[in-house]
Amino acid sequence: MSWSILVVDDSATARTQLRATFEAKGARVVEAENGREGLWRARSEKVDLIVSDVHMPVMDGLQMIQELRKHPELANTVIFVLTSDATSTRAAEGKKAGANAWIIKPIKPELLWKAVEKALFGRQSGSHAKSTPVADDAVRNVNK
Amino acid sequence: MTSDRRVLVVDRTDGALAGVMEELDLLGFRVVWVPSPAAALAFIKTSPTLSLVIVSATAAEDGGDEFLTEVKRNRPDLRVLCGTKPNAPPSLRRGAFPDSLIPEPFRPNALRTAVSALLAEQFYPTAIATAIKSSALEVLGTLGEFRVDAGEFLVPNQTALSDLSAIIAFSGEASGHLMLSMTSEDARSLYLRFVPGARAVPVDRLEDLVGELCNRILGRLSAFFAQHAMSIQQTTPLFIRAAGSTMRYPGRHPSFGVQLTRGDARVSLEYYLADFDRSKLASGATKEVLGLGEILFF
């Protein structure tokens, strides 16, 4: 199956790590280093999934998601927030902005892949799952 | 932070402990000198928020034992550090003990270590110091078995700067900064754990890794503050390439440096808290936060 992903993160290291993870699963990976570039990339490239950091220069991830959701053609694109910000308040802001999942990094690649499978390929309840961990309680904090 | 940063130096001759006073000044303390234990007692009675008293071995000969007894009776919270000489009067070793005894002449490292031990709680309560170390271990632990070595207050010529450093400031209901620093060689070693098989890794990328790790550690610290109902906002990392250089924040509180090691690899963490609400710390953790690797679907 051919699919594509946009990775938005100001850290080149994080982008490289994600690129390696998703290319190994056959994805075409597009990168952006801040929210503004991410916005432009998302509109110019047709991607199935966007994975975005929050704290970035120029435009942060939540602003970018809010802007993206204003465009009808991007209204249903799956967007994951991948961030070190673990506060429930910020996660709620992410939900309000239009994100589909809030993920605390670092995360093991195989767990991230499970989340992608669930969201993109409907292995569980589809891309707009309710507020539960991706697999089961065992998934919580297993990266520790 | 509301702690007073005054230190009272007790010595017969003004200037004899000039080096000590200079060192304390660099650490951000306001230093007051008095010539005798009797004068010190009078000063202490009118200065309720004094942090520390340093008594030279010579001054202690003039009723040092009685002085300590009085201080401990009236101000049990006040920390007292005494100098010792090989022929120190035995009275100092009986009855009321000082909180710390270090040999004279004071060596800067010994003084700094003693001051760190005595005053760390005042600047960085145990809960915060533990949270910072735990945050670092949690994040670095995904890259190998790190352990924390002893930390100490840092003076301007001893900041944790190494080849590659990243500093992230934060503000809000707690403010300060976190800085992570390491050698290029150690950064390269950690990078290969991030991106296995990477060949020639440019220095920009190594620097980026240091920033990303600093960001993740601050993310955990932010979660700790959130658990205690303190919200912080952080900036994106600033990068410094400065092997052998120093940093200085005029008028600052002392920052604190912690070394984390994994085999020969060494990561330096420097943190500085300008302000936070101690009362919220005392109330304990009240809010839930997400753990590393946790996924919340909406």
Cβ atoms of A49 and A119 within 8 Å: the answer is yes
Query: What average pLDDT does range A76-91 have in this prediction?
Result: 92
User: Which contacts (CB < 8 Å, 24+ apart) does range A60-65 have?
Assistant: A60/A35, A61/A8, A61/A35, A62/A93, A62/A94, A62/A97, A62/A99, A63/A35, A63/A97, A64/A8, A64/A35, A64/A36, A64/A38, A64/A39, A65/A94, A65/A97, A65/A98, A65/A99
Bigger pLDDT: B179 or B283?
A: B179
Where is average pLDDT lowest: A51-60, A70-79, B11-20?
Answer: B11-20
Query: What average pLDDT does range A11-20 have in this prediction?
Result: 93
Tell me, yes or no, whether B132 and B274 share the same domain: yes
Beta bridge partners of B261: B147, B266
Tell me, yes or no, whether B265 and B132 share the same domain: yes
Tell me, yes or no, whether B203 and B256 share the same domain: yes
CATH number of the domain bearing residue B276: 3.40.1550.10
Give, rounded to a whole angstrom, the gap between the first and last alpha carbons of chain B: 39
Report the residue of chain A nearest B193, measured CA to CA. Answer: A17
CA A68/CA A57 separation, integer angstroms? 17
What are the CA-CA distances from residue A37 to residues A41, A44, A100, A103 (Å)? 6, 10, 20, 21
Question: B207 falls in which pLDDT band (50, 70, 90)?
Answer: very high
What is the full DSSP assignment across B210-240?
HHHHHHHHHHHHHHHHHHTT--EEE---EEE
Q: Taking all residues of chain A, what is their mean pLDDT, rounded to a whole number? A: 85
User: What per-residue confidence (pLDDT) applies to B267?
Assistant: 92
Tell me, yes or no, whether B38 and B132 share the same domain: no
Q: Cβ of A134 and B215 within 8 Å?
A: no
User: What per-residue confidence (pLDDT) applies to A138?
Assistant: 32
Domain limits for position A50: 3-139
Residue B177 lies in a domain: yes
What are the CA-CA distances from residue B83 to residues A2, B102, B163 (Å)? 74, 5, 37
Residue B176 lies in a domain: yes
Residue B146 lies in a domain: yes
The domain total for chain B is 2
pLDDT in tens, B93-133: 544 577 778 888 887 778 777 877 787 777 778 888 889 99
Cβ atoms of B156 and B252 within 8 Å: the answer is no
Tell me, yes or no, whether B223 and B114 share the same domain: no
Residue B145 lies in a domain: yes
Q: Cβ of A11 and B208 within 8 Å?
A: yes
Instruction: Choose one of B85, B105, B123: the last residue of a domain.
Output: B123
Residue A132 lies in a domain: yes
User: What per-residue confidence (pLDDT) applies to B285?
Assistant: 73
Residue B269 lies in a domain: yes
Instruction: Choose one of B67, B99, B123: the last residue of a domain.
Output: B123
Residue A15 has pLDDT above 90, yes or no: yes
Phi, psi of A83 (to 5 degrees): -145, 165
Residue B256 lies in a domain: yes
Residue A35 lies in a domain: yes
Question: A125 falls in which pLDDT band (50, 70, 90)?
Answer: very low
Comparing CB atoms, the residue among B209, B220, B294 nearest residue A141 is: B294
Domain limits for position B194: 126-282
Residue A20 has pLDDT above 50, yes or no: yes
Tell me, yes or no, whether B10 and B81 share the same domain: yes
Tell me, yes or no, whether B11 and B22 share the same domain: yes
Tell me, yes or no, whether B103 and B154 share the same domain: no
From chain B, the residues in CB contact with A119 under 8 A are 297
Question: B159 falls in which pLDDT band (50, 70, 90)?
Answer: low
Q: Cβ of B292 and A56 within 8 Å?
A: no
Residue A24 lies in a domain: yes
Comparing CB atoms, the residue among A17, A95, A106 nearest residue B298 is: A95
Residue B239 has pLDDT above 90, yes or no: yes
Residue B175 has pLDDT above 60, yes or no: yes
Burial of A52 (0-12, 13-18, 19+ CB in 10 A): buried
Q: pTM of the predicted model, to two decimals?
A: 0.77
Residue A144 lies in a domain: no
User: What per-residue confidence (pLDDT) applies to A131?
Assistant: 37
Residue A137 has pLDDT above 70, yes or no: no
Residue A140 has pLDDT above 80, yes or no: no
Tell me, yes or no, whether B131 and B119 share the same domain: no
Tell me, yes or no, whether B188 and B263 share the same domain: yes
What are the CA-CA distances from residue A57 to residues A8, A84, B220 (Å)? 11, 16, 20
Q: Identify the residue among B203, B212, B296 best suited for mutation to test binding to A, counting A beta carbons within 10 A and taking the highest.
A: B296
pLDDT in tens, B245-282: 777 665 556 777 888 999 888 899 988 888 888 888 87
Question: B150 falls in which pLDDT band (50, 70, 90)?
Answer: low
Comparing CB atoms, the residue among B195, B204, B220 nearest residue A20 is: B195
CA-based nearest distance B224→chain A, Å: 9
Residue B1 lies in a domain: no
Comparing CB atoms, the residue among B208, B226, B298 nearest residue A100 is: B298
Tell me, yes or no, whether B135 and B238 share the same domain: yes
Q: Cβ of A111 and B204 within 8 Å?
A: no
Tell me, yes or no, whether B173 and B97 share the same domain: no
User: What per-residue confidence (pLDDT) applies to B265?
Assistant: 85
Residue B3 has pLDDT above 70, yes or no: no
By the CB < 8 Å criterion, does B166 face chain A? Answer: no
Where is average pLDDT lowest: A55-59, B91-95, B210-214?
Answer: B91-95
By the CB < 8 Å criterion, does B294 face chain A? Answer: yes
From chain B, the residues in CB contact with A69 under 8 A are none
Cβ atoms of B53 and B81 within 8 Å: the answer is yes
ipTM above 0.90, yes or no: no
Beta-strand relationship, B152-154 and B255-262: antiparallel
Comparing CB atoms, the residue among A85, A115, A131 nearest residue B222 is: A85
Which percentage of chain A shows pLDDT scores above 70? 84
From chain A, the residues in CB contact with B231 under 8 A are 87, 89
The domain total for chain A is 1
CATH number of the domain bearing residue B24: 3.40.50.2300
Query: What average pLDDT does range A6-12 have in this prediction?
Result: 96
Q: Identify the residue among A7, A8, A9, A11 best suited for mutation to test binding to B, counting B beta carbons within 10 A and taking the highest.
A: A11
By the CB < 8 Å criterion, does A57 face chain B? Answer: yes
Residue B287 lies in a domain: no
From chain A, the residues in CB contact with B291 under 8 A are 86, 104, 140-141, 143-144
CATH number of the domain bearing residue A116: 3.40.50.2300
